[in-house]
């Protein structure tokens, strides 16, 4: 307008229809909204829980991301109930000062009785929260996405997208402004988001100290003497934050139940940890959410892990038990790692935390026949027996051997002594657990063969405790089977007892070995037992002289 006495002084943008009202002086004019109350700045985040246990590592990782020049995009992953949303909300609230245009939140979780929220529904709700009238929103998804990007291009927003189940739905929700921050939570590792500039932050279980602190806060800071018991309860709850919250609520609602009482109940009642619940929410129920996302083959693999002899594993023994190619099982383990039901600890090596293991055990008892579970366990134990026998042969091929496992043995897995020793170092706990479980099942043949195959790997003195335990189990099983290895194990028990400086026990074991070897008519075993007893005698005499004792060593019986 150019009439005298009127000015049009607009230094910014004009959007929508413009009505001249004499003199207009403004930086930006936005028309099209109906008159009325101003649109409030959106504050959509759920309120944080009043009880908070500091996750210093994760918070520091997010702070580091925020300090970079690039837009802040983070993917928080972890097992269901581990505290992803709580961490995201608390950290984002701390970023409010630098993001004046508000907070947007969406939960994309899919429940069993309803479909998941779709991205176009989220975008429509967010655009309305940012001030656009419902009638101005297009129906076409591409147009809606373009409008969202236009509206957010010059805004500084905080965005939280909870429980995502695909990469593509998140791409549509990323604000266009480089000054905006978006956090995403998921029970699975969405690797596609890494290509979109998201940085992964994995949440783990609480330590007993952190869990005990959380329980103490929930219960109103109990006396210092109770903190030790609370740490023990946190450990029994496997350090899972949701389990700790339920345990705290249970104790608060039942003042006559002490933390020690609850520990006793959890240790006594099978599956009691998974049964912990408040109203309809249970620990087992939230773990079922992760399990329900698995395909049938991966779910079967997950249930099998409960029968595996140790906490760490590779695909090979599992493939034997499932009668599947190793590559298929490796793919299944990668899927379980994505779901945080197992954790990768090295290349092609995994660990299962105690809580998912307890969950897998409950599911196995529910879905799998007992005889099938027992057969799977035996298959895995036999795999460890064969592989340890191959390692034993690589370490010392000249030893005399008695077990049938050596008769048709594939020694190809180990190219050198070092290779075999490195493998046994990694798998020692699984091999020892295999023998223990075989003894529990009454599989005497497997027990005494495992006692033989570990002899060379366990000969170093720092394995003395393990050697003694394996040989003791082997002696009992060999006795049941009337096998000559009974005498061998007695002599090797003496060797281990000497390494533990239990010289009298070593002499007793070797003397019995000589007697049993005589009964079996085996001179080679007699000679080995005599040599081992002489070693024990010498070590005892040396210890006697070094100690300056006035007591003479106990006399041994003359034998052979």
How many alpha carbons lie under 13 Å from residue 274 in its C-beta half-sphere?
Answer: 17
Using DSSP, state whether 185 is helix, strand or coil: strand
DSSP one-letter string for 421-467: HHHHHHHHHHHHHHHHHHHHHT-HHHHHHHHHHTTTTT-SGGGHHHH
CA distance 48 to 42: 17
CA distance 538 to 170: 73
- pLDDT average, residue stretch 285-305: 92
- pLDDT average, residue stretch 499-521: 95
CB atoms within 10 A of CB 215: 27
pLDDT at 110 > cutoff 90? no
Residues 307/372, Cβ–Cβ less than 8 Å = no
- pLDDT average, residue stretch 193-201: 92
How many alpha carbons lie under 13 Å from residue 108 in its C-beta half-sphere?
Answer: 23
Q: Which pLDDT value is given to residue 25?
A: 55
* Residue 128 backbone class (left: φ over 0; alpha: ψ -120 to 50; beta: rest): alpha
CA distance 95 to 377: 51
- pLDDT average, residue stretch 497-517: 95
Predicted confidence (pLDDT) per residue in 223-276, tens digit: 666 789 999 999 998 899 988 988 888 888 888 888 888 898 888 877 677 777
Using DSSP, state whether 528 is helix, strand or coil: helix
pLDDT at 560 > cutoff 50? no
Q: Which pLDDT value is given to residue 493?
A: 97
Residues 66/164, Cβ–Cβ less than 8 Å = no
pLDDT at 22 > cutoff 70? no
Residue 283 binned pLDDT confidence (cut-offs 50, 70, 90): confident
For residues 552 and 485, which has the higher predicted lDDT (pLDDT)? 485
For residues 173 and 22, which has the higher predicted lDDT (pLDDT)? 173
Nearest to 312 by CA among 174, 162, 210, 431: 431
- pLDDT average, residue stretch 506-533: 94
Please, what is the angle between helix 503-520 and helix 523-547, to 10°? Answer: 170
Residue 530 binned pLDDT confidence (cut-offs 50, 70, 90): very high
Predicted confidence (pLDDT) per residue in 319-364, tens digit: 999 999 999 999 999 999 999 999 999 999 999 998 899 999 999 9
DSSP one-letter string for 264-292: HHHHHSTTHHHH-EETTEEHHHHHHHHHH
Residues 349/413, Cβ–Cβ less than 8 Å = no
The 3-class secondary structure across 75-95, one letter per residue, is EEECCCCCCHHHHHHHHHHCC
pLDDT at 32 > cutoff 80? no
Residues 206/214, Cβ–Cβ less than 8 Å = yes
For residues 13 and 47, which has the higher predicted lDDT (pLDDT)? 47
pLDDT at 392 > cutoff 70? yes
For residues 175 and 409, which has the higher predicted lDDT (pLDDT)? 175
Q: Which pLDDT value is given to residue 21?
A: 54
Q: Which pLDDT value is given to residue 558?
A: 43
pLDDT at 14 > cutoff 70? no
Q: Chain centroid to CA 501: how far?
A: 39
Residues 350/388, Cβ–Cβ less than 8 Å = no
pLDDT at 497 > cutoff 50? yes
CA distance 121 to 106: 10
Mean pLDDT score of the chain:
88
Distances (CA, A) of 312 to 204, 249, 290, 349: 17, 33, 21, 7
- pLDDT average, residue stretch 479-495: 96
pLDDT above 90 covers a percentage of the chain that reads 64
Residues 91/62, Cβ–Cβ less than 8 Å = yes
Q: Which pLDDT value is given to residue 28?
A: 44
**Host H or E run for residue 393:** helix 370-395
Please, what is the angle between helix 241-253 and helix 208-218, to 10°? Answer: 40
Q: Which pLDDT value is given to residue 80?
A: 87
């Amino acid at each position: 307008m150019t009439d005298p006495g009127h000015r049009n002084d607009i230094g910014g943008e004009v959007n929508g229809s413009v009505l001249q009202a004499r003199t207009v002086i403004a930086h930006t004019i936005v028309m099209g909204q109906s008159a009325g109350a101003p649109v409030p700045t959106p504050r959509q985040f759920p309120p944080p829980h009043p009880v908070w246990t500091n996750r210093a590592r994760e918070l520091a990782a997010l702070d580091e991301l925020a300090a970079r020049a690039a837009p802040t995009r983070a993917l928080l992953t972890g097992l269901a109930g581990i505290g992803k949303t709580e961490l995201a909300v608390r950290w984002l609230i701390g970023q409010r000062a630098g993001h004046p245009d508000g907070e947007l939140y969406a939960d994309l979780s899919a429940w069993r009785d309803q479909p998941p929220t779709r991205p176009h529904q989220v975008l429509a709700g967010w655009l309305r929260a940012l001030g656009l009238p419902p009638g101005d929103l297009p129906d076409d998804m591409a147009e809606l996405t373009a409008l969202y990007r236009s509206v957010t291009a010059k805004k500084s927003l905080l965005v939280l997208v909870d429980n995502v189940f695909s990469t593509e739905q998140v791409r549509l929700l990323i604000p266009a402004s480089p000054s905006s921050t978006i956090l995403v939570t998921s029970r699975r590792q969405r690797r596609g988001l890494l290509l979109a500039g998201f940085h992964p932050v994995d949440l783990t279980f609480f330590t007993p100290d952190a869990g005990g602190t959380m329980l103490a806060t929930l219960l109103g800071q109990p006396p210092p003497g109770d903190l030790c018991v609370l740490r023990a309860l946190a450990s029994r709850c496997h350090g899972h934050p949701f389990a700790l919250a339920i345990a705290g609520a249970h104790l608060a609602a039942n003042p006559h139940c002490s933390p020690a009482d609850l520990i006793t109940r959890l240790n006594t009642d099978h599956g009691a940890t998974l049964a912990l619940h408040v109203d309809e929410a249970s620990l087992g129920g939230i773990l079922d959410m992760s399990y329900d996302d698995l395909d049938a083959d991966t779910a079967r693999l997950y249930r099998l892990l409960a029968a595996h002899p140790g906490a760490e594993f590779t695909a090979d023994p599992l493939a034997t038990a499932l009668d599947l190619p190793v590559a298929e099982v490796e793919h299944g383990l990668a899927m379980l790692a994505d779901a945080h039901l197992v954790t990768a600890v090295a290349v092609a090596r995994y660990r299962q935390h105690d809580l998912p293991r307890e969950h897998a055990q409950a599911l196995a008892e529910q879905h799998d026949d007992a005889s099938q579970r027992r057969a799977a366990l035996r298959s895995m134990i036999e795999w460890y027996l064969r592989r340890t026998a191959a390692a034993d042969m690589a370490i010392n091929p000249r030893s005399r051997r008695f077990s049938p496992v050596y008769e048709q043995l594939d020694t190809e897995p180990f190219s050198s002594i070092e290779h075999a020793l490195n493998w046994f170092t990694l798998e020692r706990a699984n091999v020892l657990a295999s023998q223990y479980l075989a003894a529990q099942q009454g599989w005497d043949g497997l027990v005494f063969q495992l006692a033989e195959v570990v002899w060379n790997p366990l000969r170093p003195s720092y394995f003395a405790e393990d050697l003694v335990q394996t040989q003791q189990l082997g002696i009992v099983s060999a006795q049941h089977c009337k096998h000559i290895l009974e005498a061998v194990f007695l002599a090797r028990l003496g060797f281990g007892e000497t390494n533990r400086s239990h010289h009298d026990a070593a002499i007793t074991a070797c003397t019995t070995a000589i007697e049993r070897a005589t009964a079996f008519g085996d001179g080679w075993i007699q000679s080995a037992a005599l040599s081992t007893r002489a070693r024990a005698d010498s070590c005892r005499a040396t210890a006697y002289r070094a100690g300056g004792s006035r007591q003479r060593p106990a006399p041994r019986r003359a034998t052979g």
